[in-house]
């Protein structure tokens, strides 16, 4: 009985290793081997260069010449290997880029399918009908709210506005405003007015 | 080991190394515990400073680590074994063979190496890309990383840790094209 409910230990789920991954790994392994070979040969060249110097010092030029020929041959091999190496690295880059492109394409395909499915859920007529129903429901709700809050109807509002206008008209009708004087000011008063204005002008001039 | 001792001149030895009784395993349990703790720290620090990942017991016994020529004192073979037992108990070393003649030194535990390697893979956009084991420990991209030149066995332990955590997938181990794919 306990066996049914006991938890089974999950083994670590392995990540999918594609043929492409194996191809990339094989190329990279080849690249590493080439790099190691180049390192070995370069170390060997350095030793041979030192040995050639020593042989020249010792006066064994023929032996030194032979060693330098061998060195030149090794250098050619290194150049060829470097050439192969760049090709392999180019191939690795191409494979990795192809994988990225594949992932992008897969992503776009999935996105497109999801969008199609979403669009299938939407029907224009259905949306129109829903919008219409929503509008009607909103209007109905507003009507109910108006009834409950005792709000005035449009006719009530116009009646109230008319009443306000009548009241204002009546108010203005009873107020008697004095008429403006039509005759000229007396002479003495005009003189006094001039006297008042003089010092103000001077003051302004001084201040400026 | 010989290569390691060349750089050891810059290593700062602890004060105990110049203290003669340090090279004799003490009888008093309390003192012995402190002594073994000091030896353990010295072995780990020395290995880390010289980037030593594994050692041969015979090699270690004759090395400057257990042999102070200035004092003309050396830790006996029994003493070395006692120190190694203590280190093994603390999971700081692990013997690689049944004869217990060679051991790995974990101055960083495999899970710590694992995190460092994974962090490097994330920072350098190596996720979902197969990498060779050589590329991780000897590649041009890792020259400034602390796991550059890491021993294969310790690298494998670290990668196995990552595989258990489902952060990596080992590829063709034991085959021609050994590698790993970080997830």
- The stretch A113-135 carries a mean pLDDT of 81
The shortest C-alpha distance from A22 to chain B (Å) reads 8
Mutation choice for B interface testing from A15, A30, A34, A37 by most B CBs within 10 A:
A15
Domain contains A201: no
Residue A99: left if φ>0, alpha if ψ -120 to 50, beta else—which one?
alpha
**Per-residue pLDDT at A184:** 62
Whether residue A38 is found in the same domain as residue A67: yes
d(CA B101, CA B95): 7
In a domain, residue A162? The reply is: yes
- Distance CA(B38)–CA(B32), nearest Å, equals 10
Q: Are residues B90 and B114 in the same domain?
A: no
**Structural domain boundaries, residue A134:** 124-168
Domain range spanning residue B173?
A: 110-182
Classify residue A57: in a domain, yes or no.
yes
The predicted structure's pLDDT at residue A2: 56
Question: Binning pLDDT at 50, 70 and 90, where does residue A111 land?
Answer: very high
pLDDT more than 90, % of chain A: 3
CB spacing of B132 vs A28 below 8 angstroms: yes
Q: Please say if the pLDDT value at position A14 is more than 60.
A: no
Residue B156 belongs to domain with CATH number: 1.10.10.10
Q: What is the mean pLDDT of residues A77-103?
A: 84
- For residue range A81-92, list pLDDT tens digits in order: 888 888 888 888
B8 within some domain: no
On whether residue A187 sits in a domain, the answer given is no
Lowest-confidence pick of A43-52, A150-159, B29-38: A150-159
Q: Is the dihedral of CA A112, A116, A117, A122 positive or negative?
A: positive
| Torsion sign, CA atoms A78, A83, A86, A87 | negative
DSSP conformation class of B52:
-
Closest CA to B24 of B87, B54, B66, B69: B66
**Residue B45 contacts by C-beta under 8 Å, 6 or more apart in sequence?**
B11, B14, B107
B172 and A22 within 8 Å at the Cβ level: the answer is: yes
- How many whole angstroms separate alpha carbon B117 and alpha carbon B126? 11
pLDDT surpassing 60 at residue B9? no
User: Residue B42 above 50 pLDDT?
Assistant: yes
> Rounded CA gap, B123 and B120, in Å?
5
- Work out how many domains chain B is built from and give that number: 2
Interface of chain A toward chain B, CB-CB under 8 angstroms: 12-15, 17, 21-22, 24-26, 28-29, 32, 36, 96
Asked whether residue B43 is assigned to any structural domain, the reply reads: yes
Q: Does residue A13 surpass a pLDDT of 60?
A: no
In a domain, B5, yes or no: no
**Residue A66 shares a structural domain with residue A115:** yes
Contact (CB<8Å) A32/B134: yes
Asked whether residue A24 falls in the same domain as residue A113, the answer is yes
Number of domains within chain A: 2
Please state, rounded to an integer, the average pLDDT across all residues of chain B. Answer: 83
DSSP B127: B
Same domain, A39 and A134: no
- The pLDDT score that the predictor gives to residue B125 is 87
CA atoms of B142 and B133, how far apart (whole Å): 12
Residue B66 lies in a domain: yes
Q: Which of B105, B120, B147 is the last residue of a domain?
A: B105
Nearest by CB to residue A24, choosing from B130, B164, B169, is B130
Q: Do B130 and A13 touch (CB under 8 A)?
A: no
Q: What is the mean pLDDT of residues B125-146?
A: 85
pLDDT in tens, A33-65: 888 888 778 888 877 877 887 788 788 777 788
Mean pLDDT score, B161-174: 83
Nearest alpha-carbon partner for B180 in A140, A22, A88, A39: A22
Q: What is the pLDDT of residue B83?
A: 92
The pLDDT of residue B101 is above 70:
yes
Q: Burial, B116: exposed, middle or buried (Cβ in 10 Å; 0-12, 13-18, 19+)? A: middle
Predicted confidence at residue A117, as pLDDT, reads: 80
Q: Where are the alpha helices (DSSP H) in A58-180?
A: 61-121, 124-149, 154-174
Share of chain B above pLDDT 70, in %: 95
B67 shares a domain with B124:
no
What mean pLDDT is predicted for residues B73-91?
Answer: 86
pLDDT at A10: 47
């Amino acid at each position: 009985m306990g066996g049914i409910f006991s938890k089974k230990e999950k083994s670590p789920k392995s990540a999918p290793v594609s043929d492409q991954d194996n191809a990339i790994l094989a190329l990279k392994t080849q690249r590493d081997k080439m790099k190691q070979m180049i390192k070995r040969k370069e170390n060997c060249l350095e030793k041979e260069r030192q040995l050639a110097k020593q042989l020249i010092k010792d006066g064994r030029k023929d032996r030194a010449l032979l060693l330098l020929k061998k060195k030149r041959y090794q250098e050619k091999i290194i150049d060829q290997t470097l050439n192969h190496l760049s090709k392999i690295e180019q191939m690795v880059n191409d494979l990795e880029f192809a994988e990225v492109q594949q992932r992008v394409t897969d992503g776009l395909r999935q996105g497109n399918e999801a969008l199609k499915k979403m669009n299938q859920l939407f029907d224009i007529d259905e949306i129109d009908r829903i919008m219409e129903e929503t509008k009607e429901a909103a209007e109905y709700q507003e009507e109910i709210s108006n009834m409950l809050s005792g709000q005035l109807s449009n006719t009530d509002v116009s009646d109230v506005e008319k009443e306000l206008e009548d009241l204002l008209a009546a108010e203005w009708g009873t107020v008697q405003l004095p008429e403006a004087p039509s005759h000229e000011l007396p002479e003495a008063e005009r003189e006094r007015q001039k006297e008042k204005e003089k010092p103000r002008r001077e003051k302004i001039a001084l201040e400026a | 080991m010989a290569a390691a001792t060349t750089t050891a001149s810059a290593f700062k030895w602890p004060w105990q190394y110049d203290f003669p009784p340090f090279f004799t395993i003490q009888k008093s349990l309390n003192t012995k515990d402190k002594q073994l703790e000091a030896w353990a720290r010295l072995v780990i620090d020395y290995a880390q400073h010289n980037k030593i990942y594994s050692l041969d017991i015979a090699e270690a016994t004759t090395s400057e680590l257990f042999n102070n020529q200035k004092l003309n004192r050396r830790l006996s073979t029994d003493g070395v074994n006692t120190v190694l037992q203590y280190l093994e108990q603390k999971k700081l070393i692990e013997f690689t063979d049944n004869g217990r003649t060679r051991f790995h030194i974990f101055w960083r535990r495999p899970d710590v190496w694992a995190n460092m390697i994974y962090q490097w893979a994330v920072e350098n956009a190596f996720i979902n890309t197969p990498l060779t084991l050589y590329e991780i420990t000897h590649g041009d991209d890792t020259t400034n990383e602390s796991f550059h030149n890491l021993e294969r066995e310790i690298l494998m332990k670290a990668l196995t840790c990552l595989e258990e955590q489902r952060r990596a997938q080992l590829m063709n181990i034991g085959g021609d094209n050994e590698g790993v794919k970080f997830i």
